[in-house]
Amino acid sequence: MKTLFQKIADREIPSKIVFEDDLCFAIEDINPQAPTHILVIPKRVITRLGGATDDDAALLGHLLVCAGKIARERGIAETGFRAVINSGKDAGETVPHLHVHILGGRPLAWPPG
């Protein structure tokens, strides 16, 4: 069965896709928590960071490089942004298909809630 994000990648569920390459794509979060809130999502499903293996290393690195590029394009690299991966219940993971949240455009509190 496809994940929600696979259905978005396959254009079965509409979403605002702001970036795409062979390995990943990026969408506007449907419930933004900051002026910029983008999700960077691998096309090959890694369920969550807590289950990632050595085989996922290059893909995980690629997601972070893409997150940095998207942040620069959005003009939030200078002011600052956060890249977040929620892994598991206590972290608030709701979609079991790993994704990197890019959050920026406002000061972000630390520590996070």
Where in the sequence numbering do the catalytic residues fall?
Answer: 99
Other C-beta atoms closer than 10 Å to the C-beta of 104 total 23
Q: Where in 37-56 is the site for ligand AMP (CB under 6 A)?
A: 39
Cβ contacts of residue 104 below 8 Å, gap of 6+?
Answer: 34, 35, 36, 71, 74, 76, 79, 80, 81, 82
Q: How far is the CB of 49 from ligand AMP (least distance, A)?
A: 10
| Helix ranges restricted to H, the chain | 4-9, 57-74
**Binding flag, residue 89, ligand AMP (CB under 6 A):** no
Nearer to ligand AMP, 53 or 94 (CB): 94
**Binding flag, residue 83, ligand AMP (CB under 6 A):** no
**Binding flag, residue 29, ligand AMP (CB under 6 A):** yes
**Interacting residues toward ligand AMP by CB under 6 A:** 4, 13, 15, 27, 29-31, 39, 86, 92-95
